[in-house]
A and B are shown apart, each in its own frame.
Chain A
Amino acid sequence: ESVLTQSPATLSLSPGERATLSCRASQSVSSYLAWYQQKPGRAPRLLIYDASKRATGIPARFSGGGSGTDFTLTISSLDPEDVGVYFCQQYTRWPTFGGGTKVEIK
C-alpha cells in the first residue's frame, strides 16, 4: 500500500498569493495521482487527475505536477473561494488518500 503524506497541514495566505501544496508517496505511483478540493459540509470535487490534467470546469489557476513519489498542487493566485481542504489520492492499486492540507485566507 502506498501511503500518501501531505504537507503542510495548514496553509494560510493572502488573496492573490501563490499556494503550493505537497503530496509525497511512500512508493512510486507513477502519474496515477488525483487532487480534490473539499469545502466545509460539502463533498469533495475533482481538480486534477493523472497528476497534471485539469478536470472539466476547473479554473486555470489550479495546476498539478510531479510523478513517481513527489507531487504538487499549485494555486497560482489564491482566491477567497479556494478556502477548503485539499486531498491527494493515488490509484495504482486500491485507492488511498492523503491526510489533507487546509487552505485558509489571512
Chain B
Amino acid sequence: QEQLVQSGGGVVQPGGSLRVSCEASGFAFSSFGMHWVRQAPGRGLEWVAFIRYDGTNKYYGDFVEGRFTMSRDNSKNTLHLQLNSLRVEDTAVYYCAKGFGGYDMRDYFDLWGQGTAVNVSS
C-alpha cells in the first residue's frame, strides 16, 4: 500500500543543522509533488516547503528565509529536508506529505509520513 516512512531528526543546538528524510513506496513517487508540513508542540499545522514532481521547482514558507533546502531523488523514491541555522522556534514534528498533483504548491495532502521530531534547544 502507499506509504511514507520518515527518518532523521533529533536534538540540535540553536544555529545547528539536521536532515530529515522520507522514503516513499506503493505509488509512482516521481509523478507527484511533495511537501513538508510541521507542527510545533501543542500547536496547529504549518506548511514548510514544496518540490515539484521532477524537482525543478521548489517553494518555501516565508519563515524559512533561505535556511532550509528541500530535495528529492526519484531514482530512490526519497525526499529530504536539510535544516540549517535552526532556531528554537523551529522545534516541531516535521511531516512529509504527498500532494494530489505534481506541478505547484496549491495542493491538499492525501498521504502523510509518521512524523519526525526536531528539537532545537541549548
Q: Do A and B come from one complex?
A: yes
Interchain nearest-CB distance for A47 vs B (Å): 10
Of B35, B37, B95, the most chain A CB neighbours within 10 A belong to B37
CB–CB A89/B106 < 8 A? no
Stretch touching chain A among B7-15, B80-88, B109-117: B109-117
Closest to A43 in B: B112
Q: Which of A43, A46, A96, A100 has a CB less than 8 Å from the CB of B113? A: A43
B26 within 8 A of A: no
A95 and B107 in contact (CB under 8 A), knowing A43-B95, A100-B44? yes
CB–CB A97/B46 < 8 A? yes
Chain B 40-84, CB-CB to A under 8 Å as 1, else 0, gives 000011110010000000010100000000000000000000000
Q: Which of A47-102 contact B (CB under 8 A)?
A: 49, 55, 87, 89, 91-100
How many Å lie between the Cα of A55 and that of B46 in the bound state?
21
Q: Interface size for chain A: under 10, 10 to 19, 20 to 34, or 35 or more residues?
A: 20 to 34
Interchain nearest-CB distance for A20 vs B (Å): 20
CB–CB B115/A94 < 8 A? no
Q: Which of A32, A46, A87, A93 has a CB less than 8 Å from the CB of B45? A: A87
5 pairs across A/B with beta carbons < 8 Å?
A49-B100, A49-B108, A94-B105, A95-B35, A95-B107
Chain B residues close to A by CB (< 8 Å): 35, 37, 44-47, 50, 59, 61, 95, 100, 105-115
User: Which 5 pairs across A and B sit closest by C-beta, in order of nearness?
Assistant: A34-B108, A43-B112, A97-B45, A95-B47, A91-B106
